[in-house]
Structure 1
Amino acid sequence: MTLRELLLMAIPASVALGGGVLAALWHPGHRARSLIQHFAAGVVLAAIAVELLPEIEREHAPGPVLAASFAAGCLVMFGLKLLTDRLESHPGARTGIATGLMLAVFVDVAIDGFIIGAGFAAGGETGPVLAVGLSVELLFLGLALTSESPGGWRIVGVSAALGVVVLAAAAAGKLLLGGASHAVIGGALASSAAALIYLVTEELLVEAHQGQEPETPVSTLVLFAGFLAFWSVQLVGRG
């Protein structure tokens, strides 16, 4: 693992900490959180469409391996959802945040980190692109946690822990998959695609549409703006 790769992996960790600091200083209303979540969803969708799926194709892994890996990723995320729902009713004594929510957040962040590590193992620009794309999600996480229960500066400690988890998981993913066969890397990326699709459809957008205020067409525009922003960076980089 090179120093450049380590520094790029540290970007999401730094953003996670920054999100915690922002959450300690600013407690946004539902409308602002919804717009942030829509933008993050657009960015993650762009990361899947622009970088992750093309990289899976470039790996030339066998079709059955990719299909089975994608299905396995779906089942893992579904199992996580069931576990989260079961633990959701147990509040955290110190943070005031539901235990189920905290478990889901830390597991999601670990999966995100592993996805980043898999991207670096695949080579090319996949790792850096995923690191930047998923950083937007991590910036949102701090605001999401305080929306459940404002925790003041305690949320900064939680966000710092999230940063450590995503960095450690990214490094582990790179070390475990470095030098792996095309089938293994392709399978890991296919599972990652399933996890990211789950993140968008079952977390970001579901959370964004909860609340008393009705959604407006502006939210949809913000989602597309997130997609376009990520894609534009890609297009400029390739030019």
Structure 2
Amino acid sequence: MTPAVKLALFTLPPLIAAGAGAFVASVRAPGVRITSVIQHFTGGIVFAAAALELLPQDRTHTTTPVVIGFVLGLLLMLGIRQVCNRLEQRFEDSTLPTGLIIVTAIDLIVDGLVLGIAFSAGEETGLILTIALTLEVLFLALSVSTALGAARVRKLWTLSLPVLLAALLSLSAVGGHALFAGLPPNFYAVLLGLGTVALIYLVTEELLVEAHEVPETFLATAAFFVGFIVFFIIEASVKTR
């Protein structure tokens, strides 16, 4: 089995999660409070992935390349955010959630590249990060499918488009791994720092910002820390095998 095929199989869970999220949203879309809880829980999972999996990897490399990666990652994410804001404004009057679809596609491509970097660090690291991103994809599928349903798009598209978007993560991960595998340690350290910033940015500037658009509740706040603890338990279980 080639590395590309093996990685494609490892990234099947996000595709399955996208299908499940789209199906749930097509049956009964979650309300804003439940959505906020899901966002907090997902944020806790992804934040734990950055803190417990990628940051320890960063510390195994010399400081300068990692710091360069942090800076480049921040510039990249800020640049992507500017592009996404303009796209959302451009398609604001559209009856279809075109802006949301494009922004989601960009997010998943970036996540896939981060996953490709993680698998370059090691299969175990990649698998653990896949768990975190699978939950993120589940939430994104819920959001996209709900928006398509509100726009009265055909049910076939509300079910299939989130899965097609999730496939971008898989393709990006396979391409990123092929591109990044075998890089010299300093170049790889830069990419690792960039990936760490991308995940932290996803939590602090996207998931939690959207989650706080509704009044904060005790359950939502607790969900973030539950997500962190759940990921900690999963990681500890995987690493002790």
Q: Give me the TM-score of the superposition, normalised by structure 2.
A: 0.89
Residues 67-116 of structure 1 show CA distances to partners (whole Å, capped at 9, x for unaligned) of 111111111111111112112133389971042x2222111100111111
Q: Matches of 2:165 and 2:95 in 1, distance apart?
A: 14
Measured after TM superposition, the shift of residue 54 of structure 1 is: 0.9
Percent identity between the two aligned chains: 34
| 1:18 corresponds to which of 6, 17, 20 | 20
Q: Matches of 1:235 and 1:118 in 2, distance apart?
A: 21
Q: Any conservation in 2 of the 1:35–1:222 contact (CA below 8 Å)?
A: yes
| 1:203 corresponds to which of 202, 206, 224 | 206
Q: Matches of 2:133 and 2:34 in 1, distance apart?
A: 20
Measured after TM superposition, the shift of residue 56 of structure 1 is: 1.9
Quickly say closer, same or farther: Cα 1:166–1:217, change in 2 above 3 A. Answer: same
The code of the aligned residue for 1:238 comes to: K
Q: Any conservation in 1 of the 2:118–2:129 contact (CA below 8 Å)?
A: yes
Aligned ranges 1:114-193 → 2 under 5 Å = 114-148=113-147, 150=150, 151=153, 152-193=155-196
Q: Matches of 2:120 and 2:31 in 1, distance apart?
A: 39
Q: Matches of 1:206 and 1:135 in 2, distance apart?
A: 20
Q: Any conservation in 1 of the 2:144–2:162 contact (CA below 8 Å)?
A: no
Q: Which structure 2 residue ranges, 5 or more long, are not aligned?
A: none
Q: Any conservation in 2 of the 1:17–1:163 contact (CA below 8 Å)?
A: no
The runs of at least 4 consecutive aligned structure 1 residues that moved more than 6 Å come to 92-95
- Does residue 221 (structure 1) correspond to residue 210 (structure 2)? The answer is no
Measured after TM superposition, the shift of residue 174 of structure 1 is: 0.9
Q: Counterpart in 2 of 1:102? A: 101
Q: Secondary structure of the residue that 1:11 maps to in structure 2? A: helix
The code of the aligned residue for 2:122 comes to: G
Q: Any conservation in 2 of the 1:89–1:98 contact (CA below 8 Å)?
A: no
The code of the aligned residue for 1:31 comes to: R
Q: Matches of 2:102 and 2:28 in 1, distance apart?
A: 24
Q: Counterpart in 1 of 2:43? A: 41
Q: Give me the TM-score of the superposition, normalised by structure 1.
A: 0.90
The code of the aligned residue for 1:185 comes to: Y
